[in-house]
Structure 1
Amino acid sequence: MIRFPWSKRTRPKTRNGGKGQVPNSVKERTEDELITRNIEDTISYLRECFDYSDDFIIRRFHVMGEVPAVVCYFPPMTDGGHQEALKSFMTIGNRMGDAPDLGKALKNMLLNDILFSSDGRTDTSLQMIVEELLNGSTVVHVEGMDEAFVFCTRNVEKRSITQPETEQVIRGPREGFIENLMTNISLIRYRLQTPDLRVKINKLGKYTRTCIAVCYIHGIVNPALVEEVQRRLSLIEIDGIIDSGYLEQFIEDNHFSPFPQIQITERPDKAVANLLEGRVIIIVDGSPLALIAPTVFSQFYQTSEDYAERFLLVSFIRLARLLALLFSLAFPALYVAVISFNPELIPTEFAVAVAGGRSGVPFPTVVEVLVMEISMEVLREATIRLPQQVGGALSIVGVLVVGQAAVAAGFVSPITVVVIALTTIGSFATPAYNAALALRLLRFPIIIISGMFGLYGVMIGLILINNHLLSLKSFGVPYLSPIVPGNFEGMKDTVFRAPLWWMKRRPTMLHTLNHTRVGTESFNELEHSKQNTLDPLTPANKRGGGEGKDGQSSSNNGDSGGDHSG
């Protein structure tokens, strides 16, 4: 059962003092209004809240055959548990001879001796009863009691756990987050079976009352980071939180930067890895994408598969990704600058081929590249939005037929098509979609500047982007850490990935309470204690199964060639 912070009478602080939090017609009534002993008062209050909702059920019955009671629930949100709770109340009379006095004795008997539900509890606040009903719980109020019974019977349809769509890997787990909050938390707890994992659940949204889970590892994360995340969440005032992207736009540091300052993921293993580094994970009920805070730029060209493979191979692949990232940003601008202002930089043979391909093209190079870039963006967007069966056919038609027809008609040159195609492929090599989107956006102003000032314009654009990256922070962490400011320990996991046993400490930029993540002494003992147990050439190897001396196999290794008869 979801235990919300205000179940213990503590609510997140808001600028309006917590007013206007109940999404119904009685939201102006006082928050501290308590349940009375008369069930008619409770029924009238709930009817005032939900009277116009045809899916809200209020059913009267008797406890022990004589005590009036009422059960309330929303059938579309329950799993049938309300029937078990109702059965417990209505069958008491068959087992009990005399009803005890109304009051505390009745409550204790019902809660501790009669009710079957394992998560039943009581509450005294009318507003909390409304909150629980909207969450899918079943509420029972017995005449003469100033508390109501609350049973968690929530059951919302959800899709099965499948492979992540946007973060696919060859080596690694094949399960991803879904829209159900409790399922996502269970996927994290499955991998982090430690009592130090903390999950704090809040509710945001005036009408949606969306559950927001803040996850961190106590003893590793810096407490100031958790407090800052909770503070920023508590200051959000909005009608509804539909997706984790809503929170991202509120709590990020720079709202006008194209670069994301909070990373998103739909992989539980990636979320757990960031928790172990000392970061905070924010999960929104109804969204399959979790938020990771804080975030630095180097994380956007890294994948969870990088830590499952050997470091030499991963370092090469990561370098290729980084080059593709830079390639997708600056290659069209460099092409425009060289063709328009500095054609002498091109080798003679290649310059002749380029000039021959551009003969007959009526547009300047910058216009030609911009038209092709815009066309590619439109084609990419259309491919994403169309149904899967049609999208694949459209991409093939757009790339092959339209591109070839444009070249044949003389609108663009063949070399321009090649440049745009290579640039698009480079943008696809960036693992993070939101970071690739930022680079696609910045590509257009750099192309325009390069068409105006040549290579000087390209350098000016890159310098401005670099200065902007240097100015960004994510919850106080410099965006280009650990490169700027430099930190040798952090540089082991940037462009190249060092072996896991070399990365002994957690990222210094996160100021974690526990810095060590790899035991040095145990690894040294492991290295020095390795034995070639099954090596046939090891002296006195008595574990071999051969017939030779010291456990060694015979020299012929079972070879039947040659004459051994005589």
Structure 2
Amino acid sequence: MRFFNSRKKKKQIQESNIPKSKISKDIKELHVVPELEKMIILFDTIFQKDFDFSVRKFHVFGKTEAAIVFISSIVDKEKLERDIIKPLQENSRTKDLTKSMMNYINEDVLYDGDVNKTIHMKDLVEGLLRGKVVLLIDGQKEAFHLDAFKPEKRGITQPETERVVRGSRDGFIEQIGVNASLLRYRLPVPEFRVEQMEVGKLTKTKLAICYIDSITNEELVEEVRKRIERIDIDRILDAGYIEQYIQDNPRSPFPQVQNTERPDKAVGNIVEGRVVILIDGSPFALIVPAVFNQFYQTSEDYNERWLISSIIRLIRLAALIFSLTFSSFYVTVLSFHPELIPAQFVVAAASGRSGVPFPVVIEVLIMEFAMEILREATVRMPQQVGGALSIVGVLVIGQAAVLAGFVSPITVVIIALSTIGSFATPSYNAATAFRLLRFPLIILSGALGLLGLAAGLIIVMNHMLSIRSFGVPYMTPFSPLNITSLKDSFLRAPIKWLMERPSQLQPKDVIRENSAEKMDNPGETVNKGGN
């Protein structure tokens, strides 16, 4: 509800002696005044064009005039009526007359648990924009702001980007409070810390730094704080903004910050000694530091037997390398080293390329570019038609290109296998980096043959060896070599062998379990109990 019409409001503002320059330029210097009408005019001036700004006037204890100021679009109106207005109207001050009115209301009347008093207009305005309700009482130099925020949120569902066969089905959502509760549910220990910060001059986005105080290195936590505090931007709309600001090498194509929608994955990294960053408004949590080893692993690896998980990890790693090099190697062999083709495949390769007007390198680049367009179109299309587009597009376009003589059948097969290999990588941003690196490798292979392919791979590997994530070498534990951490790298050793946290994180508590010898033969305990 609006309290004043525009003409009356303008006239009352002019008569109220409230400095308009201060209202429009700087609210920080303004304080609460005892005159209720002046306060209402001041708030109405600040939010004069906002349709959802509301003022509700009533009498406290049936005597003293008061008003509730709130933003109706983000406030729980049922809670407002039940826990704030109703107690103030129905109660009568018949006892504790020695208390001031503000203390009596705070301690004996209001049901709301989050009640704060302030004299600063800045705090009241910020509270209103955060979903709080401001209680103004005539004759009082202080004002209450009470929490009545009601955010619109979706339910907790399985993450779309990190599906598993065996594992939990809950995922982060956009509300930071819900995400923090999902972590606390899995980490019911007093050492678990959730530090809140705020970034973005206009959006004032909340974020939380999550870690275990008794495990995580203090220098790592402090470095995370410093990098976040250095962010100077007017808006933070998603976790990707934070990721780009805090990474060590922003020019690198490889991700140096891991993101996840899975609470169990976030908790697993926190327990190892890493820091997880939650951002309000984003369903993705950021994990730092991140090394290359993490991007082809999933939380499901630890739910299966070690032998099965190790084989699957090797398959993922092979698919990742395969997707990067297969197209380039194909160009190298057909353009410069046809003697590498087995004799039984020479005729098939030659007949397939007969009539194709382009060199092999141009043919592969065209198909790779077309595949990237098709992939992007599939992602941007509505979900109902996106799947059909990907299947029909590959079949129809590929078959039509072969029949038209633009590409050879072998090239279509090679490109399809390379693309499928990139889908086996669990991390989308890591798979994207390798997909994009295929293009310069194809060009080098088409220009210099096997020498160009080798030079390109050396450059890529040298770059990966040179970058760091929050001081941790990106290729750890392979370089520098760490024998202990190799037990959980491209192979996953049995869980009873993984008794030490990653040493590159320099955790305060290195040992996960001090009684490792008790797990060597758990059957002995059962037999002793039976005797």
Q: TM-score, normalised by structure 1?
A: 0.86
- Structure 2 CA distance for partners of 1:147 and 1:378, relative to 1, 3 Å: same
Q: Quote the offset at 1:35 in angstroms.
A: 2.5
Question: 2:309: which partner in 1?
Answer: 314
Structure 2 CA distance, aligned partners of 1:325 and 1:222? 32
Cα deviation code 1:208-242 (max 9, x no counterpart): 12111111111111111111111111121222111
Aligned residue number for residue 468 of structure 1? 463
1:377-526 matched pairs, under 5 angstroms: 377-521=372-516, 523-524=518-519
Once the two structures are superposed, what CA deviation does each residue of 1:412-470 show, in whole Å capped at 9, x if it has no partner? 11110110010000000000000000011110000000000000000110000011111
Distance 1:465 1:26 in 2: 57
Q: Which amino acid aligns with 1:328?
A: S
Q: Distance in 1 between matches of 2:244 and 2:176?
A: 20
Q: Which residue of 1 aligns with 2:72?
A: 75
Cα distance in 1 for partners of 2:24, 2:369 equals 49
Question: 1:60, CA displacement in angstroms?
Answer: 2.2
Aligned position for 1:54:
51
User: Are residues 1:36 and 2:52 paired?
Assistant: no
Mark the CA change 1:523 to 1:144 in structure 2 (over 3 Å): closer, same or farther.
farther
The amino acid of 2:60's aligned partner reads V
- Mapped pair 1:45 → 2:42: yes
**What is the alpha-carbon distance in structure 2 between the residues aligned to residue 518 and residue 27 of structure 1?**
60
d(CA) in 2 for partners of 1:25, 1:349: 86
Corresponding residue number in structure 1 for 2:224 = 229
Shift of 1:361: 0.8
Counterpart CA distance in 2 for 1:522 and 1:105 is 65
CA positional deviation for 1:123:
2.4
Structure 1 unaligned regions, length at least 5? 1-23, 535-540, 543-566
Q: Equivalents in 2 of 1:157, 1:531: separation in Å?
A: 52
Cα 1:195–1:336 change in 2 (3 A) is same
Deviates more, 1:163-172 or 1:118-127: 118-127
Aligned-pair CA distance for 1:99: 9.3
Quote the offset at 1:403 in angstroms. Answer: 0.7
Q: Is the 8 A contact 2:499 2:516 kept in 1?
A: no
Displacement of 1:43: 2.5
CA drift of 1:490 comes to 1.2
Task: Kindly report which structure 2 residues correspond to 1:54-453, keeping only aligned pairs within 5 A, or say none.
Answer: 54-80=51-77, 81-83=79-81, 84-93=83-92, 96-97=93-94, 100=97, 105-453=100-448
Give the superposition deviation at 1:406.
Answer: 0.9
Deviations 1:114-172 (A, max 9, x none): 11112222223211111111111111122233322121111111111111101000010
Rounded to whole Å, the distance in 2 between the matches of 1:439 and 1:33 is 55
Amino acid of the structure 2 residue aligned with 1:334: F
Q: Deviations over 1:459-497 (max 9, x none)?
A: 110000011111111111111111111111111111101
- Once the two structures are overlaid, the 10-residue window that deviates more, 176-185 or 329-338, is 176-185
Q: Which has the higher helix share?
A: 2
Deviation at 1:524, TM superposition (A): 4.2
Q: CA deviation at 1:26?
A: 4.8
- The superposition leaves residues 169-193 of structure 1 with CA deviations (integer Å, 9 ceiling, x where unpaired) of 0010011111111111111111111
Aligned AA (2:362):
V
Cα separation, partners in 2 of 1:188 and 1:99, compared to 1, 3 Å: closer
Q: CA deviation at 1:522?
A: 6.2
Q: Structure 2: 5+ residue runs without aligned partners?
A: 1-20
Counterparts of 1:238 and 1:230, CA distance in 2: 16
**Cα distance change of structure 1 residues 383 and 25 upon mapping to structure 2, 3 Å threshold:** farther
CA distance in 2, matches of 1:299, 1:98: 64
Q: Residues 106, 526 of structure 1: CA spacing in aligned structure 2 closer, same or farther, 3 A cutoff?
A: farther
- CA spacing shift, 1:76–1:247, aligned 2, 3 Å: same
SS at match of 2:496: coil
Equivalent-residue separation in structure 1 for 2:324 and 2:474 (angstroms) = 19
SS at match of 1:132: helix
Q: Between the two proteins, what is the percent identity of the paired residues?
A: 51
Report the more deviating stretch, 215-224 or 363-372: 215-224
SS at match of 2:128: helix
Bigger Rg, which one: 1
Superposition deviation, residue 49 in structure 1: 2.0
Give the distance between the partners of 1:405 and 1:532, measured in 2 at CA: 68
| One-letter code aligned to 1:89 | L
CA deviation map 1:87-133 (0-9, x unaligned): 1111223xx348947xx621221111111112222223211111111
Counterpart contact for 1:175–1:267, Cα < 8 Å: yes
Q: Does the Cα contact within 8 Å between 1:70 and 1:141 map onto a contact in 2?
A: yes
SS of the aligned residue for 1:530 comes to helix
SS of the residue 2:371 aligns to: helix
**Residues of 1 paired with 2:169 and 2:403: CA distance?**
45
When the two chains are superposed, the root-mean-square deviation of aligned CA atoms in Å is 2.0
Verify the 8 A CA contact 1:25 1:49 in the aligned structure 2: no
**Contact kept in structure 1, 2:278 and 2:285, CA below 8 Å:** yes
| 1:258-307 CA distance string (max 9 Å, x none) | 11110010000001101101111111111111111110001000000001
Once the two structures are superposed, residues 341-363 of structure 1 have per-residue CA deviations (whole angstroms, 9 ceiling, x without a partner) of: 01111111212211111111111
